Amino acid sequence: MSTVTVSSSALANGGQASQAKRWALRILFVGVLLYLPMVLTTRSIFGIPLSNMQLLNLGLTQMNVMMIMMIGALSLNYLTGVAGLISIGHAAFYAVGAMTAAIFGTQFGLPFPVALVAATIIGALAGVIAGLPSLRVRGLYFVLSTMALHYIVVFLFQEYQFKVFDVVGVPYKPALLGSFELSTQIRWYFFLLPIVALIYFGLRNSLQSREGRTLIAMRDHELAATSVGADVRILRLKTFALTSAIASFGGALYAYYLSNVNAETFGIQFAIQFIAMIIVGGMGSLRGSMVGAGLWLLLPSIISGFASQLGSSTGLVRYVIVDHKAQLVQIIFSLIVIVLLIYAPGGISGLYHQLRDRLATGRRS
């Protein structure tokens, strides 16, 4: 009896220690996120100057764009990785958000928050329309319908741009929250950070609900989900509406952040990068979406930083890294995607879980 009591006590103490460790890591992570803009602005940490290479050639601009792209990656992974609805037209909803923000913000002169709300609502409606083909077609035919949606929206954006603003692009007014203007990179950072956190936790918590579990069941076995009373048709439209609203919201933020966009901003390459992000991060993993977006957005800046350090090099090093920097970035990205698809279909998130399981097995043995 005493042995059982001691073992139970040890397990309880071990669980409490593990929980305390997790909370300590979370607090540390939040502290790093809050202090990061100071480091990137002053180019120093606790008063100690850092070189550009020590900061990996990163700045707040890259961080802000990364967070805006994380919104799209999260919404697409929820749609494709969680619900199993493959879409290659996600950039269309960014374009819908940007166009809606231009109409309500630039043309009608409504406040920045109102333009964001309008972009979210219009994005949800556009998502319902985009999801209608999923009620009748599957597989490749549905994928092609999302591609068609992309080109239709980009064409509408182009026509709207040329008719109202001409070839100079669509301008946006400064983003104002009352009298507070998001006029600096650090203000944008602290505005975007809680938004990304809320979207992440909102989507994650929704998966714990009954409808969220049904969504996963629909992805894994649609017939089984239908047999237990789930209306998968309504669920598909709801999922499209939710994810499209989030993406459209992200598109409005992106437009305001850039202050001027055009139809070419939301080309097919813009759509493909979201697919690459969720493949790299891990299909079905919301946390992996953010990791994939971070890698996809920040790696080019890191490579550019190394290339600038090798500017005085000669021979093959200069030819590959300096003279063909853009091609090198594309090659590295292509290799990452290919290697992950072959050896780690679960992406970076899958690799993390495999490593964690192996370490846990090693400790138990």
Per-residue pLDDT of the chain (365 residues; tens, 9 = 90+): 455 555 556 555 656 777 888 889 889 999 999 999 999 999 999 889 988 888 888 999 999 999 999 999 999 999 999 988 888 888 999 999 999 999 999 999 999 999 999 999 999 999 999 888 877 877 788 888 889 999 999 999 999 999 998 888 899 999 999 899 999 999 999 999 999 999 999 999 999 888 888 888 888 877 777 776 777 888 889 999 999 999 999 999 999 999 999 989 999 889 999 998 999 999 889 999 999 999 988 888 888 777 777 766 666 767 677 677 777 778 888 888 888 878 888 888 888 888 887 877 776 66
Pairing between β-strand 176-177 and β-strand 180-181 as defined by DSSP bridges: antiparallel
User: Residue 45, SS3?
Assistant: strand
Q: What is the model's pTM?
A: 0.90
Class of domain 51-364: mainly alpha
Dihedrals phi, psi of 282, to nearest 5 degrees: 130, 115
Q: Which residue has the tokens 């929980």?
A: 19
Which residues, including other chains, have CB under 8 Å from residue 132's CB and lie 6 or more apart?
A: 237
Amino acid at 152: I
Tell me which residue of 188, 181, 200 sits closest to 111, measured CA to CA.
181
Residue extents of the structural domains in the chain: 20-50, 51-364
d(CA 265, CA 67): 17
